[in-house]
Amino acid sequence: MPIARVHRIIAQAPDDVSGLEAAISAGRLDPAGILAIFGKTEGNGCVNDFTRGFATQSLTLALARHVGAERAASVCYVMSGGTEGAMAPHWTVFERVEGEGAPGPALAIGRVHTPALPAGHLGRMGQVEQVAAGVRAAMRQAGLDDPRDVHFVQVKCPLLTAQRIGEAEARGATVAVRDTLKSMGLSRGASSLGVAVALGEIPAEALADAAIGRDLALHSGRASASAGVELLGHEIVVLGMSAAWSGPLAIDHAVMADAIDVEPVRAALGRLGLGAAGQLGPVARDRLVALLAKAEAAPDGAVRGVRHTMLDDSDISSTRHARAFVAGALAGLVGRTDLYVSGGAEHQGPPGGGPVAVIAARG
């Protein structure tokens, strides 16, 4: 029976694989069982953040030494740039092993790589459809038949560069946007709507190209999308609870209504037995395996009716402000800074808010 294991490893730099190597050498982690690695790297998280590709290359080469190049390439490397504030750069490694663990339902993991997305499909229904198909495939791989058992879907999606736009236009295709930074938001938004379609949160017939990035009332409560220049297709990781899996880990999710709405997260922690009042104590912190969250600057320019300036700063992208702000709020709740907080939450939770997933060891 499959058992999910999750390892959180601090990174000293985007190419620091020493913690991963140490876990493998000590026998705590079997490289052959790694399905995905989520990383927080200390770049700017924008179009020219090459720390994501640097980290992916470093991790892939490290794993290839243990399991070969083909197996290493099959891992989903979801690198999210930007560790503003006190957010700690780190890797979250998802491993599948076989055995007889604690009876399920338990954490289940599925992952897929999609083909390269044509540049003309980015930010349009073609991307929504490709991601929806990928999510369904990852669910089948994880043995998650009921969408209600899915608690979080992490998508790494592509973006447009000047070269990719030029190549598409040379073929006679059009692109949804020529601004490469804005293409990140459209890609995240279309990917998230693909998750919503796959999970039955939004019917496909309710969507059209014109809604993507505009009708923010359409959103998923379980999607997390991160765009990067380092890939052309999508890497999709589905996390849920399945009776077909065993082991000690469980997952729950919450949706923050705004950047300081930690009460739904506190409730999710309580449902996992980590305590529902105040900051987590030492025992509960040890049982907290991972916290994954989305963050964005509220598009109406206010948090609970009070003006914020994140959208008016022409020096620093609003996604960088939002990551630091939400990471600080969540760190104050759980007493840790090694959190995976990704910026840009288009169609991921209500405007200004975002989905959160909590993975913990059962008591």
Query: Helix/strand/coil (H, E, C) string of 108-177?
Result: EEEEEECCCCCHHHCCCHHHHHHHHHHHHHHHHHHCCCCHHHEEEEEEEECCCCHHHHHHHHHCCCCCCC
Query: Helix/strand/coil (H, E, C) string of 253-272?
Result: EEEECCCCCCHHHHHHHHHC
Distance CA(151)–CA(84), nearest Å, equals 26
Marked catalytic residue, from 40, 58, 80, 156: 156
Is 156 catalytic? The answer is yes
Positive or negative: CA dihedral 79, 80, 86, 92:
negative
Give the Cα-Cα-Cα angle 270, 339, 144 (nearest 5 degrees): 65
Is 242 catalytic? The answer is no
In sequence order, the 6+-apart residues with CB closer than 8 A to the CB of 148 are none
User: Would you call 18 helix, strand, or coil by DSSP?
Assistant: helix
**Scanning the structure block, which residue is given the tokens 């969250």?**
293
Distance CA(9)–CA(92), nearest Å, equals 6
Bin 85: left if φ > 0, else alpha if -120 < ψ < 50, else beta: left
Distance CA(64)–CA(43), nearest Å, equals 25
Give the Cα-Cα-Cα angle 208, 214, 220 (nearest 5 degrees): 75
Distance CA(241)–CA(284), nearest Å, equals 20
In sequence order, the 6+-apart residues with CB closer than 8 A to the CB of 51 are 14, 41, 42, 43, 79, 81
Marked catalytic residue, from 183, 226, 242, 317: 226
CB 81 within 8 A of CB 93: no
Could you tell me how far CA 250 lies from the centroid of its own chain?
A: 17
Residues annotated as part of the active site: 156, 226
